[in-house]
């Protein structure tokens, strides 16, 4: 898997993403309060909590879509607040994101959507096109290259979103409710793909309210489970 494995030798050390005493407010209300988190290279995390607890907000903070109201947020050793817009774009290429609603460009084909990160980073030569085909085969969509997003099922869309998130071989994969719209079998398949990515050295953070998914994962991978409760982040107990 050339695409996924090409940057495995990257130097590891400090936390790839670090949140120090982060608070985030919106519309006068505080959504997150004094949150600290360090994602170590190659680690696997679940982030859980009830709907509206702030899981998506925390994920958005992690990839720079939101900036904290207070506290320090750094990625790959860089203080995100100090990055200009171009540097922020480069940072996002090192963080793959899978959204629950996938967010595809409906007028483009599946292969074009998955290749979007290659395109925006000025890559996409013939070798990488071959890697794209290989990657889509890896997520089981090798036969759907020319399909358009509205033609795909929920599971296919999620797998395509995962393929798009990892095509640039990012250091970190963030997934927001990746199994929210798929059946149990498909959620297990997606989980296996995420675990496989983690075994390739990627740091994985999955936000989910699906506790059965977390239980299923714990037998396959060493994962930390974090819970957001009352605007604060805490390590989940052994009840999971």
Partner 1 sequence: MSSSDIRALLRPDTRADRVVPPTGFTAQLTLFVSGAMAFLAVFALALSLASGRLADRWASELAGAATLRISAPAEQRAAQTEAALVVLQQTPGVASARALTNEEQAALLSPWFGPDLPLDTLPVPQLIEIIEGAPGLDAAGLRLRLGAEVPGAVLDDHGRWREPLVDAARSLRRLGWISILLIGGATAAMITLAANASLAANAQIIEVLRQVGARDRFIAGAFVRRFTFRALFGAAVGTLLGMSGVLLLPEASDAGGFLTGLGFQGAGWVLPAFIPLLGAAVAFLATWSAARRKLKELS
Interface ranges with partner 1 (CB under 8 A): 63, 65, 85-86, 89-90, 92-93, 97, 103-105, 107-108, 112, 116-117, 119-121, 124, 164, 168
Query: From the CB of 81, what's the least distance to partner 1, in Å?
Result: 14
| Residue 228 β-bridge partners | 233
Closer Cβ to partner 1, 8 or 90, answer by number: 90
CB of 103 to partner 1, least distance (A): 5
Q: Distance (Å, rounded) from C-alpha 5 to C-alpha 106? A: 29
Residue 56 Cα to chain centre, angstroms? 11
Tell me how far, at minimum, the Cβ of 93 lies from partner 1, in Å.
4
Q: Report residue 81 as tokens.
A: 């607040």
Closer Cβ to partner 1, 24 or 104, answer by number = 104
Least distance in Å: CB of 83 to partner 1? 12
Distance (Å) of CA 165 to CA 8, 82, 221: 16, 25, 20
Is residue 99 within 8 Å of 176, Cβ to Cβ?
Answer: yes
Give the other-Cβ count within 10 Å of 90's Cβ: 12
Cβ closest to partner 1, residue 33 vs residue 111: 111
- C-beta of 34 vs 112, nearer to partner 1: 112
Q: Using CA atoms, how far apart are residues 133 and 115, in angstroms rounded to an integer?
A: 10
The least CB distance from residue 60 to partner 1, in Å, is 10
Measured from the Cβ of residue 226, the count of other Cβ atoms closer than 10 Å reads: 20
Distance CA 187, CA 123 (A): 31
CB of 194 to partner 1, least distance (A): 18
Cα dihedral 195, 201, 204, 210, rounded to 10, equals 10
Question: For residue 95, what are the β-bridge partners?
Answer: 172
Buried/exposed 189-200: b ≥16 CB within 10 Å, e otherwise: bbbebbbebbee
Q: Nearer to partner 1 by C-beta: 176 or 210?
A: 176
As measured in angstroms, the least distance from the Cβ of 82 to partner 1 is 16
CA 29 from centre of chain: 26
- Nearer Cβ to partner 1, position 108 or 186? 108
Residue among 180 and 232 whose Cβ is closer to partner 1: 180
């Amino acid at each position: 898997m050339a695409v996924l494995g090409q940057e495995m030798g990257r130097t590891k050390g400090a936390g790839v993403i670090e949140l120090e005493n982060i608070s985030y407010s919106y519309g006068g209300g505080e959504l997150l309060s004094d949150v600290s988190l360090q994602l170590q290279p190659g680690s696997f995390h679940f982030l859980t909590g009830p709907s509206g607890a702030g899981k998506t907000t925390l994920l958005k903070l992690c990839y720079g879509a939101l900036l904290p109201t207070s506290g320090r947020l750094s990625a790959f050793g860089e203080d995100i607040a100090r990055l200009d817009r171009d540097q922020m774009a480069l940072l996002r290429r090192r963080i793959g994101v899978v959204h629950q609603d996938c967010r595809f460009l409906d007028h483009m084909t599946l292969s074009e959507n998955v290749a979007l990160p290659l395109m925006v980073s000025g890559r996409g030569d013939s070798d990488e096109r071959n890697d794209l085909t290989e990657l889509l085969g890896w997520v089981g969509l090798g036969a759907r290259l020319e399909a358009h997003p509205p033609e795909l099922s929920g599971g296919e869309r999620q797998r395509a979103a995962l393929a798009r998130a990892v095509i640039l071989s990012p250091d970190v994969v963030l997934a927001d409710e990746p199994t929210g719209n798929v059946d149990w079998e498909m959620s297990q398949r997606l989980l296996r793909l995420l675990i496989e990515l983690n075994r390739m050295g990627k740091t994985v953070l999955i936000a989910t309210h699906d506790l059965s998914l977390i239980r299923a994962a714990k037998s396959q991978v060493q994962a930390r489970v974090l819970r957001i409760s009352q605007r604060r982040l805490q390590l989940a107990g052994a009840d999971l």
